[in-house]
Amino acid sequence: MIQIAILGFGVVGSGTAAVLEENKQLLTARCGEEVNIKYILDLREFPEHPLGDRVVHSIDVILQDPEVVLVAEMMGGAHPAYDFTLAALQAGKSVVTSNKEVVATFGAELLEVARKHKVSYLFEASVGGGIPIIRPMQTDLASNEILSVSGILNGTTNFILTKMIREGASFDDVLKEAQRNGYAEADPTADVEGLDAARKIVILAALAFGVLLDPNAISTRGITGITSDHVAMAKALGGAVKLIGHTQQIEGKTLALVTPFLVPAANPVCHVDGVFNGILVEANMLGRALFYGAGAGKLPTASAVVADIIDVLSHRTQERKLPVWRVAEAEDYAPAEAFVCRHAYLMEGCSHCAAKAKAALQTEECVMLEGGRFAVVSAPMRRADADAALSSTGLEALVVLPVLD
């Protein structure tokens, strides 16, 4: 029998226990032995839960038990989750986690500690909930050079934007609905300001390019400023507004950013709606591949945690090759200002003004709207160059969004 411990018995922790118990026979077949939850670490008691007798309140109980070979950390937040993870790895126990904040902040260090102690540190559930993305990037795409990763990484904001597009509702009204339905926290700041997506995109950037950026140092803009004008412009141009995390390399430096984009219908990410996530990986041999599914939720996220548990336990007699990340220095960051893409502008004016805007932006893509407005999409260029070109005509934009082609 293989003994494991769960740290944190909230939504994902209890979901992980449920998957382990429900699929016990399947796990036994795939791991070679029965997997048993020996301990559950939490501050609370769970007297009504069937596993309530496994609850302990001190990490030392787990660290000092040589029978425990794996710890599943789902506490959330940076501390004490990082401290407990570090201690478990140093004690020779493998760790799997759904904690994006710990991975995005301390991942490089924890991977090195795991290598040193010949154990595993896996984090499939830290990005995309139940969507397989970490392991495919490490294994299935190992023969490829990753060129870029772009995607919808937060289900709360995608739910809000989808409602605004389909129903014409305001941001504030849809946020309240999301909170009532349990899709948004009472304090939604991490979601709606893009902080959650920023942590996830730096993890994907590290997987793609080997450099762990600071999520607090990348350009991050949320959706609180999105209005009906943004939605109307996107609709007129045949696309949708999506909060996108994007990473690529520019002249050997790593760019990562989070911002609302206009996503054209030709891009499959445009059609990822509601609370779902969609991650588009572009590789030099494969081309584009979309990873789509439930990006959050108790059982989808728990299924990714348990997949990591199976991975570790079914290969426990083999030495694992873990990714090598290096913590980014100042010179590793590509500035967001260097990002080249098309830009969509909503403007007031007649067809003569539209012609001036098209000439300035080196484009023919323009749609006249009701009410003396038009939407125009620039040729690929830096945002500063596009703004300067428009400024030279004397025209002013009402709203602007980058375009994710």
Asked if residues 383 and 402 have their Cβ atoms less than 8 Å apart, the reply is: yes
Angle at 103 between CA 144 and CA 86, to 5 degrees: 125
3-state secondary structure of 387: helix
Selected catalytic residue, list 93, 163, 200, 356? 200
H helices present in 32-141, as ranges:
59-63, 81-90, 100-116, 134-135
Which pair of tokens denotes residue 324?
């090598």
Contacting residues for 287 by C-beta, under 8 A, at least 6 apart: none
Residue 279 CA to residue 277 CA, distance in Å, equals 7
Phi, psi at 83, each rounded to 5°: -60, -40
118 is catalytic: no
CA 374 to centroid of chain Cα atoms: 34
CA 306 to centroid of chain Cα atoms: 19
3-state secondary structure of 244: strand
Residue 210 CA to residue 101 CA, distance in Å, equals 18
Residue among 232, 245, 227 at smallest CA distance from 174 = 227
Active site residues per annotation: 200
